[in-house]
Amino acid sequence: MVFGDRAVIVWINFKIHDLSAINVSKDWKTQRERSSPLAIAIIRWIALKMGRPFARFLLYPITLYYLLFSPVQRRASFNYLKRVLGKTPNWFQIAKHIHCFAATILDRVYFLTGRVEQLDLQFPNKQLAVSYSSNGRGFVLLGSHIGSFEVLRGVAEKFPVPVKIMMDEEHNKMIVNVLNTLNPSLKDMVISLGQPDSLIRARDCLDAGEVVALLGDRVMDSEKTTTCYLLGEPIQVSTAPILLASVLKVPVIMFFGLYMGRNRYETHFELLSERVELKRNSRQQDIQRWTQMYVNSMERYLKRAPYNWFNFYDYWGDEIE
């Protein structure tokens, strides 16, 4: 890799690292955790000792609690469902949305402990991702907060090469710490965002033919963005995944782990591009075009499984109080 590419990676990394010092308002970073280590540990114990059917029964009072006492998240759900359903959602639909999220959180326990025999995991096009990893080519696996990203941890062993996950471990740190105790070895899969060497580590993994996974649908105030349209309305989307792929000259495969109810998950892979190219005379337009293609795929899967949207904050700028 030429020095110029390395310099761009370092610059992107510093931009991400600087985010820890900014004041973010009305976004996902400001939402405090509404639980405790003891409560999470109890749920974890119930899930492993009492079984999934009994643990799922507890999701109903948990859903009711969030429905009644989390007005910001409730309003965010309302605003999203109104867009994706094309009508004013009722309380039952909002509760169903929250319950869907709670169900995927519970199933993290089974994914992280390797006890997936209780789950019906479907991979309609798994071979797409496996074929790329089999030929020694590193690629970016681009996901979103649609469905369960933990599915990826649970099925990473199916890839012939290591899978590294870039994630912000500081947000919901309490939950991350408790869940990581279930399988300490999974910590080796994580490249923590916000560290001085985050992007350099990602580059080294890709150069070695490994897979680097990240989520691209959340953004900070000072991060560079481009305007895209989701469900017919404008949103700001981070340009970092597209810039990373263009600099490293690697394929980008999109990933969606949809929760389809009960114990069923569908894991979909889609090729965004063999190589993301940004022309000098149309750089900004190219960035917007590639990013919109990613958002278009998000929208397609949201329409397939509308309750799988797990961005419970003011995503469209509706001024949630």
Please, what's the largest Cα pairwise distance for the chain? Answer: 61
Rg, the chain, Cα only: 19
Strand, coil or helix: what is 136? Answer: coil
pLDDT tens figures, 79-132: 999 999 999 999 999 999 999 999 998 998 898 888 888 899 988 887 887 788
Give me the phi and psi of 246, to 5 degrees please. Answer: -70, -40
CA–CA separation, 19 and 12 (whole Å): 11
For 241-264, what is the mean pLDDT?
94
**Higher-scoring residue by pLDDT: 27, 52:** 52
| Interacting residues of 86 by C-beta distance below 8 A, sequence separation 6+ | none
**Higher-scoring residue by pLDDT: 144, 174:** 144
Question: What percent of the chain lies above the pLDDT cut of 70?
Answer: 79
Strand, coil or helix: what is 298? Answer: helix
The DSSP secondary-structure symbol of 31 reads: P
Going along the chain from its start, the domains and CATH numbers come out as 3-308 (3.40.1130)
Q: Of 219, 213, 286, 217, nearest to 253 (Cα)?
A: 213
pLDDT value of position 181? 72
166 confidence band (pLDDT: 50, 70, 90): confident
Tell me the sheet residues that pair with 237: 226
Q: How many Cα atoms sit within 13 Å of 9 on the Cβ side?
A: 23
Tell me the sheet residues that pair with 264: 120
For 66-91, what is the mean pLDDT?
96
pLDDT tens figures, 181-234: 767 776 778 888 777 888 889 989 988 888 999 999 998 667 799 999 999 999
Q: Of 96, 87, 18, 108, nearest to 63 (Cα)?
A: 96
pTM, rounded to two decimals: 0.85
Question: What percent of the chain lies above the pLDDT cut of 90?
Answer: 52
pLDDT value of position 188? 77
Q: What is the 3-state secondary structure (H, E, C) of 159-227?
A: CCCCEEEEECCCCCHHHHHHHHCCCHHHHHHEEECCCCCHHHHHHHHHHCCCEEEEECCCCCCCCCEEE
